[in-house]
Chains A and B, each alone.
Chain A
């Protein structure tokens, strides 16, 4: 099969198409994850009957109903709030998600911008969401919101380090920070001369993979790392004063970021868009589907943990990051470096 996808269009049109696609991916990813995992998987696992009822078959109408409910809610802003900062905060959170998607490749040519420092860039912009969280917590003029924002900031700073350290092993093995380069390195790699399935880094970097998943879970402030939004003691933390449309932004930001992190993990550890024996234009056509299947598998793991484990206490949470994950990450880097030098 030899399909030519090359169209003759100017850079302005290309830019517009790319922007529209990335803007569409965030709500799409948020809806897909929210529907599949939050509503359906959780309902099955926890025997929740409510989300299985609306609309008849399997409660398919639940998400539409939720959407209508959010849009018709009143937009409330606390009297004491700092109006501009309060309004900007959800946008900052969503913008950080938007920026991650710019470097995730969905095919040999299907990437918005294949940056030389791709994975580094992705982690750098993902840390920007903390600013949005702090803005939201402070501008709400509510002590629960402020406490939640402070917990979120402390947690996100602590878990950014294991996240970065987990990725370093992959970068050492691939020899590049470009996400496209990392995918190609996995596709063309071989396990002791056996190259039928390439060399997905989950096999050699399983420590990094585990670290990445745990740290991503904490970065998303999902249970068991949901101290910042703990609804039973902090009544949802920094989001407590947000209603309707603005709350929807935070919701989309959270699940859109989960989608982005799952896609990043699939790209770094499972070979991204690549499957054995598919090259060229066919890979461009199949790539998005392959990437989607892989990221849904990873998202399944993340949400499985989310629905299963109880919340960690604040001190346990910090101790896990600084005393367990970071030392393991450093050891993993040393081991990967030594093996890389010894093998090559």
Chain B
């Protein structure tokens, strides 16, 4: 067990506990705050995988914007202080079955694809891998190799944005 493995298991355990907190919580604000822990954990996992830029994008977009919009929306409408029993419904068992099924599919897929692969970080390979995760090489692959899909995605987002404005307008 190297330090990265230990860190991975600690983070994973914290993320699973927080994720259970998200679905078990009786209070919708608490659920959103548990979600912050889950997302921060996945940002930390990205750092362990040497994908520094992706990790901080995760923090900026998901924690810094999406969660804040969640909280903003909740507090603007109801902001319940006490527990809300309506949050818990009678679909626990189907939900458990579906999530176990998903866990099975994803872990089979990951183990079959990468189960016995080891990443070679000896000699210069480690530095090479680190360089791949850097913002510069990411930018090069987005704006040189994959520029057409990138532009298509931005057009799609723009169309969605305009659509949202059109739907939200009253007149």
In the complex, are the beta carbons of B36 and A131 less than 8 A apart?
A: yes
B67 within 8 A of A: yes
Task: Give the size of the chain B interface in residues (CB under 8 angstroms).
Answer: 25
Bound Cα distance A125, B56 (Å): 8
In the complex, are the beta carbons of A150 and B60 less than 8 A apart?
A: no
**Chain A residues near B68 (CB-CB < 8 A):** 127, 130-131, 134, 153, 156-157
B81 within 8 A of A: yes
In the complex, are the beta carbons of A116 and B134 less than 8 A apart?
A: yes
- The SS class assigned to the B binding surface is helix
Minimum CB–CB distance for B68 against chain A, Å: 5
**Chain B residues near A153 (CB-CB < 8 A):** 68, 71-72
In the complex, are the beta carbons of A150 and B76 less than 8 A apart?
A: yes
In the complex, are the beta carbons of B75 and A128 less than 8 A apart?
A: no
Task: Give the size of the chain A interface in residues (CB under 8 angstroms).
Answer: 29
In the complex, are the beta carbons of A177 and B60 less than 8 A apart?
A: no
Type the 1/0 row for B22-38, where 1 means its CB is closer than 8 Å to any CB of A.
00000001100100100
Bound Cα distance A80, B136 (Å): 50
Minimum CB–CB distance for A285 against chain B, Å: 30
Which residues of chain B in 35-80 are interfacial with respect to chain A, using CB atoms and an 8 Å cutoff? Answer: 36, 52-53, 56-57, 59-60, 63-65, 67-69, 71-72, 75-76, 79
A138-B75, A157-B65 are known contacts. Are A128 and B135 too (CB-CB below 8 A)? no
Interface residues of A (CB under 8 A from B): 80, 82, 85, 115-117, 120-121, 123-125, 127-128, 130-131, 134-135, 137-138, 141, 146, 149-150, 153-154, 156-157, 160, 177
20 chain-A/chain-B pairs, Cβ below 8 angstroms = A82-B81, A116-B52, A117-B52, A117-B56, A117-B135, A120-B53, A123-B60, A124-B56, A124-B64, A125-B59, A127-B63, A127-B65, A128-B64, A131-B67, A134-B72, A138-B29, A138-B71, A150-B75, A153-B72, A154-B72
Interface residues of B (CB under 8 A from A): 29-30, 33, 36, 52-53, 56-57, 59-60, 63-65, 67-69, 71-72, 75-76, 79, 81, 134-136
